[in-house]
Amino acid sequence: MRIRKEIQVSGIVQGVGFRPYVFRLATDRHLSGSIRNTSAGVTIEIQGPANEVEDFLAQLPAEAPALARITQVTTREIPCIGDAEFRIVSSIMGETVRALISPDVAICDDCLRELFDPADRRYLYPFINCTNCGPRFTIIQSIPYDRSRTSMAVFPMCEECRREYEDPKNRRFHTQPNACWKCGPQLELWDTGGRRVACSDPVTKAVMRLRIGDVIAIKGLGGFHLAVDATNSSGVELLRRRKGRAEKPFAVMVPDLEAARTFCEIDGAGKEALISQYRPIVLLPRRSGTTITDAVAPFQRDIGIFLPYTPAHYLLFAAGNFSALVMTSANLSEEPISIDNREAVTRLAGIADGFLVHNRQILLRCDDSVVKPMAGRVRQFRRSRGYVPGPVELHKDVPTILAVGAELKNTICLTRGRSAFLSQHIGDLENLESFEFFREAVEHLQTILEIHPQIIAHDLHPDYLSTKWALAQTGVRLAGVQHHHAHIASCMAENGLEGRVIGFALDGTGYGADSTVWGGEALIAGYSRFERAGHIEYLPLPGGAKAIREPWRMGISYLAHTFGQEALGLGITFIHKVARGKFEMILRMMKQQVNSPLTSSCGRLFDGVAAVIGIREDVSYEAQAAMEMEAAALAAPASAGAYPFSLVREDGSWQIGVRPLFEAIIEDLRRKTTVEVISARFHNGLVEILARLAEHLREESSLGRVCLSGGTFQNGYLLSNLIRRLEEREFEVFTHAKVPAGDGGLCLGQALIAAHAAGN
Ligand code: ZN
Ligand code: ZN
Ligand code: FE
């Protein structure tokens, strides 16, 4: 019996070689019918003997191309017609736009082979790509995904490219960015004035400049990088000076896995992440005595390493034989990464010595992603290029919501059905440029996903630009969400949890429900509500935001809290060298409550300890003190012991007290205990007190599930040890991996909480 079926497939099925795949699947079985891209995904009609059609249906998801991600398949029987072959028909616009757009994909092995094959017509062509690789998200204007709606629209295909594009058996069948030397985008080297440098090969020319320690701005997939030879210390220091970036680590690109192994210790999870098609920056323990200069990541144990992901990257390494290149986002401090050639020349004046540019427009900027293997899993620190706009799958349907995140490391989230679409890394919304990018990202994500939110979720902080933007929107419902509640909800959502959990939300700053600065919080939380079950005791933050850049202020705050005036006589280096002249002034500020808001922040506790023990009195980037504390703790012997904290129940919640901690630290400093051991004891003490608190909360609430969220859990030493300790005590522990534990993952929690407030 012959039958005909109509099959709707949704998910990431456009621009990933899905139609040629289906074409082959059908023609191998001598089935007739058609396939076409729709705004919802693809629609297939298939006709033939019933058993062959069923077999086709069974194979369809099973053997789908590597980049395809099928979220739904629906079928219905339709009347047979008289067609004899299987055809691919051109796109039509459907009424609902549901197709998912693929993230940008690193060059595939087939293209890489062709790139270095002198016999291939794309030999050394910097924009080689195919259905399995190349740019996607960053070149798309709108959907359905067709060349005319991408920044490739201005490059008409040559005859040969067109033939590949139209041949269903070709690897480049309907590859929208398909191009070659003859018809596609080209590289050029520009001087600091934006003038084209006359040369036959811009790559070789750029390589010569890099060799002598010049800083070259290189236009890539999601934006410009600033590149400099990572083994050239004066080059790297020059870049630091010019960029005004004193100590924040630079990411380093290495030619291959072998090179990565010479610089870092790489375990299984780290290797998988490095070589994956996403090509994130992977934070890995650095080996000592390598040729990479220390100036790349001063005072850090880890170094951010990644492999080339565009053909041009491979060409640079092949021509230059570099063992490692610094490849850092081309921007000024925390401004968005540059994407436009002319804009880059202006903005990077005085930083770059030359520009390796191309004429394929980047329509949306997208920074490199950053991951770190911790406690057995690869965890997102910055989920961006390669992952976005792939959805985070939810365990249930939610309404359409826009969640606008917090202020630092901002990302936004749009939800539809069971999918949460997180944006690329937008950055710190503290300057106009970032805020512009925020607005662009909101617009663009809504356009390509065709999601028009009914609800906007935002942080409670009245001064965040994201909050202000949300409050200015009309015709939508608004949902204000407490920061740490959102962290815990984000962790719950990522792990598909319902009901209530014990949540530890540890971070630097979040607007508290009592208008103080929270950040060391124990919550009993579900999506619909939370209760603050405990927190680190309140201390004044002398100088407010200033204290975040100057940890010595918190050092004085904790010492004054623990020892009062006697702190001056403690006889420790911190008092002699740093605090003596400022102690009275800070004390007065706190007593008179001048610019000294109360905080329960865990990030500030790390700062305070780091300052007192001499690891760091000032920081030049966010979380620097905590990262250096972690590095110190990791260098300590395994059984260093743990400092005491106090734990008392007061006014209906648990207070974690720091007096015993600082008394013990001072004692150790007098005994000349090393900072490594002190740091380990501090981490271990924190683990112990959190585990004890979890026990109390389990007793009170009968809850046995613990969620860990907030930026502090990007500390691998703390995370691994707390997971282990809680599991020993038979808690079920849930953590972040798919979205960042820090504020980069906050929008997901905001969205889920807003969904519940709306009655889901
Ligand atoms: Zn390819
Ligand atoms: Zn061509
Ligand atoms: Fe936070």
Report how far residue 513's alpha carbon sits from residue 461's, in angstroms, rounded to the nearest whole number. 10
pLDDT along the chain (760 residues), means of 10: 93 83 92 87 93 93 86 92 87 57 93 98 98 93 87 97 91 93 98 96 97 97 97 96 92 98 96 96 95 92 97 98 96 83 94 97 95 97 96 94 97 95 94 93 92 96 96 96 98 98 97 94 98 97 94 97 94 91 93 95 98 95 94 94 97 95 98 97 98 98 98 98 98 98 98 90
Q: DSSP assignment of 474-524, as one string? A: -SSEEEEE-HHHHHHHHHHHHTT--S-EEEEEEEEEEE-TTSSEEEEEEEE
Ligand nearest to the CA of 131: 1
Report how far residue 34's alpha carbon sits from residue 260's, in angstroms, rounded to the nearest whole number. 46
Ligand nearest to the CA of 713: 3
Ligand nearest to the CA of 66: 1
Under 8 Å between Cβ of 676 and 632 = yes
Between the CA of 493 and the centroid of ligand 3 the distance, in Å, is 16
Between the CA of 368 and the centroid of ligand 2 the distance, in Å, is 29
Between the CA of 691 and the centroid of ligand 3 the distance, in Å, is 21
Ligand nearest to the CA of 115: 1
Phi, psi values for residue 190, rounded to 5°: -115, 150
Between the CA of 512 and the centroid of ligand 3 the distance, in Å, is 11
Report how far residue 692's alpha carbon sits from residue 705's, in angstroms, rounded to the nearest whole number. 14
Token output for 146: 């067709």
Sorted by sequence, the CB contacts under 8 Å of residue 138 that are 6+ apart come out as 104, 221, 222, 362, 363, 364, 365, 366, 385
Ligand nearest to the CA of 490: 3
Between the CA of 48 and the centroid of ligand 1 the distance, in Å, is 33
Ligand nearest to the CA of 157: 2
Query: How many C-beta atoms surround the C-beta of residue 561 within 10 A?
Result: 19
Report how far residue 281's alpha carbon sits from residue 384's, in angstroms, rounded to the nearest whole number. 11
Report how far residue 150's alpha carbon sits from residue 100's, in angstroms, rounded to the nearest whole number. 15
Under 8 Å between Cβ of 107 and 30 = no
Between the CA of 518 and the centroid of ligand 3 the distance, in Å, is 9
Ligand nearest to the CA of 408: 3
Between the CA of 105 and the centroid of ligand 1 the distance, in Å, is 9
Between the CA of 100 and the centroid of ligand 3 the distance, in Å, is 29
Ligand nearest to the CA of 520: 3
Between the CA of 114 and the centroid of ligand 1 the distance, in Å, is 9
Between the CA of 485 and the centroid of ligand 3 the distance, in Å, is 10
Between the CA of 111 and the centroid of ligand 2 the distance, in Å, is 15
Between the CA of 141 and the centroid of ligand 2 the distance, in Å, is 22
**DSSP H helical ranges for 339-382:** 341-347
Between the CA of 502 and the centroid of ligand 3 the distance, in Å, is 17
Domains of the chain: 2-88 (3.30.70.100), 102-185 (3.90.870.30), 187-367 (3.90.870.40), 371-499+742-757 (3.30.420.360), 535-734 (3.30.420.40)
Single-letter amino acid code for the residue at 559: L
Residue written as tokens 């202000």?
468
Between the CA of 338 and the centroid of ligand 2 the distance, in Å, is 28
Please state, in angstroms and as integers, the Cα–Cα distance from residue 263 to each residue in 229, 293, 683, 737, following that order.
15, 11, 27, 25
Ligand nearest to the CA of 481: 3
Closest of 320, 314, 344 to residue 332, by C-alpha: 344
Closest of 50, 20, 52 to residue 35, by C-alpha: 20
Between the CA of 129 and the centroid of ligand 1 the distance, in Å, is 4
Ligand nearest to the CA of 161: 2
Under 8 Å between Cβ of 19 and 173 = yes
Can you state the angle between helices 602-612 and 624-634, rounded to 10 degrees? 70
Length of the chain measured in residues = 760
Between the CA of 176 and the centroid of ligand 2 the distance, in Å, is 12
| Predicted pLDDT at 760 | 62
Ligand nearest to the CA of 135: 1
Report how far residue 356's alpha carbon sits from residue 341's, in angstroms, rounded to the nearest whole number. 9
Report how far residue 400's alpha carbon sits from residue 415's, in angstroms, rounded to the nearest whole number. 5
Ligand nearest to the CA of 111: 1
664 three-class SS: helix
Between the CA of 386 and the centroid of ligand 1 the distance, in Å, is 15
| Predicted pLDDT at 93 | 55
Report how far residue 459's alpha carbon sits from residue 693's, in angstroms, rounded to the nearest whole number. 27
| Predicted pLDDT at 758 | 85
Ligand nearest to the CA of 309: 1
Between the CA of 5 and the centroid of ligand 3 the distance, in Å, is 50
Sorted by sequence, the CB contacts under 8 Å of residue 728 that are 6+ apart come out as none
| Predicted pLDDT at 72 | 87
Report how far residue 147's alpha carbon sits from residue 641's, in angstroms, rounded to the nearest whole number. 61
Ligand nearest to the CA of 134: 1
Which residues are near ligand 2, the ion (C-beta closer than 5 Å)? 158, 161, 180, 182-183
568 three-class SS: helix
Q: DSSP assignment of 528-580, as one string? A: S-EEEEEEEPPEE-TTTTHHHH-HHHHHHHHHHHHHGGGGGGS--HIIIIIIH
Ligand nearest to the CA of 709: 3
H/E run at residue 686? helix 675-701
Q: DSSP assignment of 122-189, as one string? A: TTT-TT--BTTBB--GGGB-SSS--GGGBTTTTSPPPHHHHHHHH-TTSTTTT-TT---TTTS--EEE
Ligand nearest to the CA of 407: 3
| Predicted pLDDT at 98 | 59
Between the CA of 569 and the centroid of ligand 2 the distance, in Å, is 77
Between the CA of 160 and the centroid of ligand 1 the distance, in Å, is 17
Ligand nearest to the CA of 128: 1
Between the CA of 406 and the centroid of ligand 3 the distance, in Å, is 8
Ligand nearest to the CA of 172: 1
Between the CA of 130 and the centroid of ligand 1 the distance, in Å, is 4
- As a dihedral over the C-alpha atoms of residue 235, residue 237, residue 240, residue 243, rounded to 10 degrees, the angle is -50
**Judging by DSSP bridges, how do beta strands 401-403 and 281-285 pair with one another?**
unpaired
Which residues in 499-642 belong to E strands, given as ranges?
501-511, 517-525, 530-536, 539-540, 598-599
Between the CA of 486 and the centroid of ligand 3 the distance, in Å, is 9
Under 8 Å between Cβ of 403 and 476 = no
Between the CA of 364 and the centroid of ligand 2 the distance, in Å, is 25
Between the CA of 509 and the centroid of ligand 3 the distance, in Å, is 6
Report how far residue 156's alpha carbon sits from residue 110's, in angstroms, rounded to the nearest whole number. 24
| Predicted pLDDT at 512 | 95
Between the CA of 175 and the centroid of ligand 1 the distance, in Å, is 10
**DSSP H helical ranges for 370-497:** 432-449, 465-471, 483-494
* Start-to-end Cα distance in the chain: 46
Ligand nearest to the CA of 129: 1
Whether the model clears a pTM of 0.75, i.e. scores above it, the answer is: yes
Neighbouring-strand partners of residue 87? 34
Residue written as tokens 């990007």?
714
Between the CA of 420 and the centroid of ligand 3 the distance, in Å, is 19
